[in-house]
């Protein structure tokens, strides 16, 4: 691995910096783990000597034709560590993140044990520092054991390195507990990330409720189960002034609620996942549990609302909800298999293919939703490409066309519904703190 003191130049790519609005072809110079400067790109052969390109100790990353974005940040992944490492662990999840172009990921608390105290937060932070190629920020649980009753010691978790709180995987059903949790998070300056699913309205559902679930004879969950909790939590954000982030918005209703909250000036943000803007319930065939996740794949109308919400800024970011499970667990079928699909290594391709190429998002908006906005939501000074910023950078070839191959994944898990899908958009290089942590095999060195 290269030393972070080394110099590197990412040459001739289309640099996209949402924070400043910079969008142009530049050489991005890195030194000592930080961005040193951005200079107008010139043809390679005119630079030897003048700019330092060609000096042996400078690593050259050729990026012509590529997007050069601030390192992607995923607010929502499950790394299954501690305790569920047969599905994934911090090393394999970190490698999957690097391969997917992510330089920072926030990992949810529904591990075994639950990340509900400072000691377990420290375990994640320390293990990540040792084995993960990307930055890992643990998210602490709202309640002890995620049982929905007693609030966690969020101050201690924050001191140990937790970057947010969430009960992701389920909803804190007791309104009063939820309110007190949001107040505690507010007092600590932590955002509360809400998984919105009314437990009483799930009715044993394993997919979206509608004609497809009826045809397949599978129990469904309705949009209302999501919408009612999104509405409740928005009201609690208004009541408490706490910062609220809605996880994996999947319904037209939750997008409308979020839009309403923003119109009122409430401190509420929201994310959408690639599977929710790519697939509808029609993709569910009843046999393959790689189409089972919570919230479920919805209707074309919901997908249209999510796409519109991303385009108009109602939805702030794209997160993966990377949820690894073992093959034998998914083989249990739609009724019995656990919810969730992996997403770290397909998010860039799906975003480029489904949103950028069709003109729903500009490349700049993609950078905003996958890096800058997540950084702002977390309150970390990342997601920028400017002199002095930490050199977390993602290089993406938006033209590359290929078939998603789950066997190529760095993740320990293979539970994706996108195996074999033809896509555009490939991560070429991922740089964390000035070091290359992923480089596509076989790519030409500059
Ligand atoms: O599909 C999901 N999988 N949704 C969740 O909320 C939890 C996640 C998991 O942990 O597997
Ligand atoms: Zn969730
Ligand atoms: Zn999740």
Distance CA(93)–CA(320), nearest Å, equals 12
Establish how many alpha carbons lie within 13 A of residue 421's alpha carbon, considering only the half-sphere containing its beta carbon.
19
pLDDT at site 49: 45
Query: What residue has token string 């190429």?
Result: 357
Distance CA(87)–CA(230), nearest Å, equals 29
Distance CA(44)–CA(41), nearest Å, equals 8
DSSP H or E segment with residue 76 = strand 72-77
Q: Evaluate whether 277 touches 355 at the Cβ level (below 8 Å).
A: yes
**Short-list 381, 419, 421, CA closest to 34:** 381
Told to judge if 23 belongs to the known catalytic residues of this protein, a careful annotator would answer no
Distance 171 CA to ligand 1 centre (A): 12
Residues facing 17 on adjacent strands: 22
pLDDT at site 4: 45
Distance CA(299)–CA(267), nearest Å, equals 28
Atom of ligand 1 nearest to the CA of 168: 6
Q: Whose CA is nearest to atom 4 of ligand 1?
A: 294
Q: What is the DSSP string of 43-67?
A: -GGGTTTTTSTT-TTEEEEE-TTSE
Backbone angles phi, psi at 439, to 5 degrees: -140, 125
Atom of ligand 1 nearest to the CA of 78: 10
pLDDT at site 121: 99
**DSSP 8-state secondary structure symbol assigned to residue 237:** H
Q: Please give the span between the terminal C-alpha atoms of the chain, in angstroms, as a whole number.
A: 18
Tell me which residues have their CB closer than 6 angstroms to ligand 1. 78, 110, 168-169, 195, 293-294, 323, 338-340
Average pLDDT per 10 consecutive residues for the chain, totaling 446 residues = 70 98 98 97 57 74 98 99 98 99 99 98 98 99 98 99 98 98 98 97 92 96 97 98 98 98 98 98 97 98 98 98 98 98 99 99 99 98 97 98 98 98 98 98 77
pLDDT at site 202: 87
| pTM for this model (two decimals) | 0.97
Q: What is the DSSP string of 411-433?
A: SS----S-TT-EEEEEEEEEEET
């Amino acid at each position: 691995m290269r030393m972070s003191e080394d110099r590197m130049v990412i040459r001739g790519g289309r640099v996209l910096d949402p924070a400043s609005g910079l969008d142009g072809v530049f050489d991005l110079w890195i030194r000592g783990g930080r961005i040193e400067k951005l200079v107008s790109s010139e043809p390679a052969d005119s630079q030897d000597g003048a700019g330092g390109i060609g000096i042996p100790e400078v690593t050259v990353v050729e990026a012509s034709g590529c997007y050069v974005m601030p390192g992607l940040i995923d607010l929502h992944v499950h790394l299954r560590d501690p305790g569920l490492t047969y599905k994934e662990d911090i090393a394999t999840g970190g490698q999957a993140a690097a391969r997917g172009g992510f330089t920072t990921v926030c990992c949810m608390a529904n591990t075994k044990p639950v990340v509900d105290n400072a000691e377990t937060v420290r375990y994640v932070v320390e293990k990540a520092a040792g084995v993960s190629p990307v930055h890992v920020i643990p998210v602490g649980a709202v309640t002890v054991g995620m049982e929905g009753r007693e609030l966690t010691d969020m101050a201690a978790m924050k001191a140990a390195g937790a970057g947010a709180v969430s009960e992701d995987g389920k909803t804190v059903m007791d309104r009063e507990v939820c309110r007190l949790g949001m107040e505690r998070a507010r007092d600590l300056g932590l955002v509360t990330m809400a998984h919105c699913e009314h437990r009483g309205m799930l009715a044993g559902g394993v997919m979206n409720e509608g004609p497809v679930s009826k045809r397949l004879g599978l129990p469904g969950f309705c949009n209302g189960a999501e919408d009612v909790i999104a509405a409740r939590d928005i009201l609690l954000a208004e009541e408490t002034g706490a910062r609220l982030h809605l996880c994996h918005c999947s319904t037209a209703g939750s997008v409308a609620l979020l839009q309403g909250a923003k119109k009122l000036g409430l401190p509420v943000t929201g994310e959408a996942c690639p599977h929710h803007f790519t697939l509808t319930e029609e993709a569910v065939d009843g046999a393959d549990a790689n189409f089972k996740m919570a919230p479920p794949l919805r209707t074309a109308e919901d997908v249209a609302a999510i796409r519109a919400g991303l385009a108009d800024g109602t939805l702030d970011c794209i997160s993966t909800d990377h949820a690894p499970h073992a093959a034998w667990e998914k083989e249990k079928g739609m009724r019995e298999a656990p919810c969730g699909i992996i997403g770290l290594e397909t998010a860039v391709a799906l975003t480029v293919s489904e949103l950028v190429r069709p003109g729903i998002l500009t490349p700049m908006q993609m950078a905003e939703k996958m890096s800058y906005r997540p950084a702002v939501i977390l309150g970390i000074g990342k997601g920028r490409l400017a002199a002095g910023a930490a050199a977390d950078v993602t290089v993406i070839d938006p033209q590359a066309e290929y078939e998603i191959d789950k066997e190529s994944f760095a993740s320990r898990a293979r539970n994706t519904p996108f195996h074999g899908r033809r896509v555009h958009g490939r991560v070429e290089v991922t740089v964390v703190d000035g070091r290359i942590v992923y480089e596509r095999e076989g790519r030409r060195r500059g």
